[in-house]
Chain A
């Protein structure tokens, strides 16, 4: 496969940045998207050029490090797939691919396609935990949990914090991420004592970071590599309203 890439290049946070076009030849359809970028970077290095910086770690779709907006869609058009698990077979030979970093004020670009997602860490620090010492995993039957709650909590807990929801949201909202973290604890017995204070603290931190508000467009859940449902946002809204009513 031969491809034309239009990639966002920005040497530092203070650099203005621009789109740069690269030709990549002899790409195997079995390569992952990141491997294709690796091939391009090898060449750039040999040519004495600066390789394209992008975040990646596990490359098996579970760590949440990788992520870029590919042809206008966070993680590319393949549904429920992280960039590292997106394969070149989903692209046509000769295709032109536009690659941009996540765009949001709370996610400043560090370099090229790498953005600083510390804002997510601070939202977690605001309340995404249980304060009681939870110890090791309890016996499955020691604290009964309704099957439906366990399933929903687990669905929410699959969030890998990649930030695609923010990147896709027309408002730059972090609602799906924050809601997933709130929901995963608020549905389980261990999360009950701090349920309302947690929702309030995390939503307030989300606002303080400068993320936008939710307008229920559903763009976030459509690009979420883990398919986190909008139900979580309803849960967050409910908990937040109850916290404020108190």
Chain B
């Protein structure tokens, strides 16, 4: 310190106390190298592109489900009506095109949609896993956690169900009447009271489809950029409504058969 005629001028040493302590800052590491822009993976390589694939393929499957559900309800008009409908699916547009043309095209579109939907889902899940290598000790969802619980495992449940469903009613492998029986006979035999556990599998699986769609439907609109502008309420409500209609429409025939309403 120094004294001048008028005042005391402190020097730096006087006013700063040195506190011995460990390094208050981390040793400086060289900045992480900015990720070199890999050759852009193109639209399908991007996370947004994969989301768009999920939205479009999901829409194809939902449209199919609506048609499928309406077709199933034919069982309430009797076996004849249901069998005629099943036959019509195969002979539609005949004689302009050969037998089963439309149905085959639908099947191809569905297989492609399921495949692409799963490819995008798996690829995005893996990406998400890599983005959080260290998990939280405590993590509390602030948005219900619905999506995280329902979508991925729900999707896996649905795939397993679809395999069973095809073996049951399409190929007749696990159906008591077998492949050669008329569609309505296969359906009614499949959900007999004695096979109540099959009905139970269907109830669980269809409810899972409903929960999947409740998020998936409005999500598709968001992914394709058609949501926003205060439309979320309407979108979410519509998604819930369509999901509920599908669940009820799909569960009505098996439950009616199991409880003996349709014979």
Give residues 47-76 of B contacting A (CB, 8 Å). Answer: 47-52
A237 to B29, CA, bound (A): 36
Contact flag A234-B228 (CB < 8 Å), given A49-B22, A118-B32, A216-B147: yes
CA of A73 to CA of B145, assembled, Å: 13
Residues of B close to A206: CB separation below 8 A: 47
- B interface residues, tally (CB under 8 Å): 62
Task: Tell whether A19 is near chain B: CB-to-CB under 8 Å.
Answer: yes
Q: What residues on A are CB-neighbors of B1 within 8 Å?
A: none
Known: A51-B21, A98-B138, A203-B46. A237 touches B224 (CB 8 A): yes
Q: A233 at the A/B interface (Cβ < 8 Å)? A: yes
Q: Knowing A53-B26, A103-B135, A214-B51 touch, does A208 contact B37 (C-beta < 8 A)?
A: yes
B140 CB to nearest A CB, Å? 4
A29 interface contact, C-beta 8 A: no
A110 to chain B, nearest CB (A): 5
Q: Provided the pairs A71-B140, A103-B134 are in contact, do residues A213 and B50 lie with their beta carbons within 8 angstroms?
A: yes
**Stretch from A59-67, A86-94, A136-144, A170-178 forming part of the interface with B:** A170-178
Interface string of A106-122 (1 = CB under 8 A from B): 10101100101010001
- CB-CB under 8 A from B163, the residues of chain A are none
Question: Does B27 lie at the interface of the complex (its beta carbon under 8 Å from any beta carbon of A)?
Answer: yes
A72 interface residue, CB < 8 Å from B?
yes
- Give the shortest distance, in Å, between A150 (CB) and chain B (any CB): 15
Residues of A contacting B225 in the complex (Cβ-Cβ under 8 angstroms): 234-241
Q: Do A244 and B43 form a contact, CB below 8 Å, given A103-B136, A217-B143, A234-B225?
A: yes
Choose from A170, A219, A244 the contact partner of B128 (Cβ within 8 Å): A170
Q: Mark B118-154, 1 if CB is under 8 A from A, else 0.
A: 0000001001101111111111111101111001000
Q: Hey, which chain B residues are within 8 Å of A48, CB to CB?
A: 20-22
Q: Which of A5-13, A30-38, A127-135, A189-197 contacts B (4 or more CB under 8 A)?
A: A5-13
- Tell me if A227 is interfacial: C-beta within 8 Å of chain B: no
CB distance from A214 to the nearest CB of B (A): 7
Q: A196–B224 Cα gap in the complex (Å)?
A: 15
Q: Which residues of A contact B35 (CB under 8 A)?
A: 122, 208-210
Quote the shortest CB–CB distance from B116 to chain A (angstroms).
Answer: 15
Q: Give the residue of A104, A204, A240 whose beta carbon is less than 8 angstroms from that of B132.
A: A104
Considering only CB atoms, which chain B residue lies closest to A214 in the complex? B51
Residue in B closest to A220 when the chains form the complex, CB atoms: B143
At the interface, yes or no: B40 with Cβ under 8 Å from chain A?
A: yes
Q: How far is the CA of A171 from the CA of B148 in the complex (A)?
A: 9
A222: interface (CB < 8 Å): yes
Report which residue of B51, B138, B226 has the largest number of chain A beta carbons within 10 angstroms of its beta carbon.
Answer: B138
Point out which of A45, A211, A216 has the most chain B C-beta atoms below 10 A from its C-beta: A216
Q: Does B232 contact A (CB under 8 A)?
A: yes
Within A22-43, which residues are at the interface with B (CB < 8 Å)? none
Among B48, B138, B227, chain A packs the most CB atoms within 10 A around the CB of B48
Minimum CB–CB distance for A213 against chain B, Å: 3
Q: Cβ of B148: which chain A residues have Cβ within 8 Å of it?
A: 170, 215, 217
> Is B24 interfacial (CB-CB < 8 Å)?
yes
User: Is A160 positioned at the interface, with any CB of B under 8 Å from its CB?
Assistant: no
B233 at the interface (CB under 8 A from A): no
The CA of A12 and the CA of B232, in the complex, are separated in Å by 43
| 22 sampled A-B residue pairs with Cβ under 8 A | A48-B21, A50-B23, A53-B25, A73-B140, A110-B29, A118-B31, A172-B131, A203-B48, A207-B41, A208-B37, A210-B35, A212-B124, A213-B48, A216-B147, A229-B228, A230-B222, A234-B226, A234-B227, A238-B225, A241-B48, A241-B224, A244-B43
If A50-B21, A111-B25 are given as contacts, then 13 extra A-B residue pairs at C-beta distance below 8 Å, sorted by A number, are: A13-B29, A71-B138, A172-B131, A204-B40, A207-B46, A207-B47, A213-B127, A216-B218, A217-B145, A229-B228, A231-B229, A234-B222, A237-B48
